[in-house]
Amino acid sequence: MSLTLRPHPHRVAPDGPLIFVVMDGVGIGRGDEGDAVAQAYTPTLDWLRSLPSSTSLAAHGTAVGMPSDGDMGNSEVGHNAIGAGRVFEQGAALVEQSIGSGALFEGEVWRWLIEGVRASGEPLHFIGLLSDGNVHSHIDHLLAMLRRAARDGVAKARVHVLTDGRDVPGRSALGFIERLEAVLGQLRTQGFDYAIASGGGRMYLTMDRYESDWAMVERGWNVHVRGRGRKFASASEAVKTLYEEHPELDDQSLPSFVIADQQGAGEPLGPIRDGASVVFTNFRGDRALEITRAFEQEEFEPFDRSPRPEVRYAGMMQYDGDLGLPSRFLVAPPEIDNTMGELLARAGKRQLAIAETHKFGHVTYFWNGNRSEPFDPALERYVEVRSDIDPLAERPWMKAAEVTDALLEQLRAPGPKFDLARLNYANGDMVGHTGDLRATMLAVEAVDLCLARLVRATKVLGGVLIVTADHGNADQMFDGAGQARQVRTSHSLNPVPLVIFDPREADGGPVLTLPERPGLSNLAATSLAILGFTPPQQYDPSLIS
């Protein structure tokens, strides 16, 4: 693909910026009582969606590189698709293929891990999210690796489970633990010493991202590595006890626990010691990077790791190519090149990316095809608004207003102007994950207030406004109906909105030309066309001619 953009045959860039808004987790639901988007007061979004340049986009499954259309989209793959202009097979599909073909187990890294524990006698440890959500991980991948480890003669294995309740139903951990325990039990009958060693909720330990709360990672280090924590005889007992003690909590927020011998009264079953091998089983990188740094980086300041064991560590995939972390990984990540951001940088166009901490990496790293740094620092500016760590359901407005303030300050500043400004409002997704319907309605309303400001700014600045989402969440807060109704904290399979507001157009926006199944990957070509460029032929087609 050529890195040189050619002028569009008839489209001319606006005088002002193209403002590209991702309303994270704001999909198009059924409009029922569990649809927080439909239930919220959203006059600006309603007006935008009344424009002729409004449609819906596929944001899940094969449309964003997942294995099947039964797989939810997520912020990582959604921003990849938006920025890349094409659909790349993502982590879930790549890992599934590698396990299915046997390539993962034939690779140098798997052999290196196995050889290490054969020589040391220490266990092979697996740490990761335990569910079938297929957003960060999949339990089937873990079970396949456990079975193969036994075939390869690994005598001892320990599993450190992170309960989900976010990409799957809120209190579904016991079902996944029972599946895992069944396989571990089968392997124990064959003479292998395989067991669960520790665990806790994904939003309580280990899986922090964007350096928002290093204390989470330290809590994970304490239970996984040091074996320090409240002791239980089994993971099932731990979860059942914590459910009873904390009826207000779901799986994602469960306190940490350690499994010990002698029915929970003895020594921890699985501290990670010198000579062990460790696999972090998540394929998605954002919530795997910090624990990886703790295992791999020689210079490390966020918390005291001592004793830091000498281990062989590998990730399911490489989580940050720029940082080279982890240094060893089982499956190569997708190679995403020639993103919209790179093409615009090569064309000398100035770009602004802004979001609060929760989604900052999405409008930078994931948008740029899994690249942390700007393509041209002289032309690109990345602005992070620090997120609060307070409970999101208590502050559903989050930092939407501050993100908008910072955006408008940058766009109005004297000096060279930005051609593309991209931003993410995290509210719909982050608050949607709490399962709190009322709070999620308020979150959507906070975003709508900010959209009103952006509509006015687009007119004043002479720009164009694109409003869309990366996946659904707030649009489906319940599963089932009646007595069978359950709170849903995971993403939805619903489409997401797209609106292009262009004040130059008589009807408020351009006429759209839609393929059979328009998706997020069509937005890069669409954006380039708005900016006066002919999109590359390799991109999925523009939605405007």
> Among positive and negative, which fits the CA dihedral 464, 469, 474, 479?
positive
Contact 380, 446 (CB under 8 A): no
DSSP-assigned letters across all residues of 176-219: HHHHHHHHHHHHHHTT-EEEEEEEEETTTTT---TTS-HHHHHH
User: Is position 202 annotated in a ligand binding site?
Assistant: yes
Using CB atoms within 10 A of its CB, is residue 46 exposed (0-12), middle (13-18) or buried (19+)?
exposed
From residue 163, give the alpha-carbon distance in Å to each of 128, 160, 174, 250.
Answer: 9, 10, 9, 9
Catalytic residue check, 212: no
Residue 285 marked as a ligand binder: yes
- Round to whole Å and give the CA distance between 365 and 371: 5
Q: Which helix (H) or strand (E) holds 19?
A: strand 18-23
d(CA 48, CA 58): 19
358 has binding-site annotation: no
Asked whether residue 75 is marked as a ligand-binding residue, the answer is yes
CA 447 to each of CA 45, 397, 429: distance values in angstroms, whole numbers, following the listed order: 9, 8, 11
Residue in 309, 315, 318, 356 with CA at minimum distance from that of residue 336: 318
Element (H, E) at 20: strand 18-23
Q: How large is the C-alpha radius of gyration of the chain?
A: 24
Q: Is 284 marked as a binding-site residue?
A: yes
231 is in an annotated binding site: no
Distance CA 338, CA 137 (A): 27
Choice among 2, 53, 68, 75 that is catalytic: 75
Give the residue among 532, 499, 545 at the shortest CA–CA distance from 419: 532
Question: From the CB of residue 537, how many other CB atoms can be counted at a distance below 10 Å?
Answer: 9
* 209 in a labelled binding site: yes
- 24 in a labelled binding site: yes
448 labelled ligand-binding: no
Paired strand residues for 22: 424, 468
167 is in an annotated binding site: yes
User: How many angstroms from the chain centroid is the CA of residue 151?
Assistant: 33
Is 286 known to sit in a ligand binding site?
yes
Burial 411-444 (b: 16+ CB within 10 A, else e): beeeeebbbbbbbbbbbbbbbbbbbbbebbbbbb
User: What is the full DSSP assignment across 327-351?
Assistant: SSEEEPPP---S-HHHHHHHTT--E
Q: Which helix (H) or strand (E) holds 486?
A: strand 486-487
Q: What is the DSSP pairing of strand 193-201 with strand 257-259?
A: antiparallel
The residues that bridge with 314 in the sheet, in sequence order, are: 279
166 labelled binding-site residue: yes
Q: Are 408 and 354 in contact (CB under 8 A)?
A: no
- Which residues does the annotation place in the binding site for Mn(2+)? 24, 75, 429, 433, 470-471, 491
Give catalytic residues, as residue numbers: 75
- Which residues does the annotation place in the binding site for substrate? 136, 166-167, 202, 209, 284-287, 359
- Which residues does the annotation place in the binding site? 24, 75, 136, 166-167, 202, 209, 284-287, 359, 429, 433, 470-471, 491
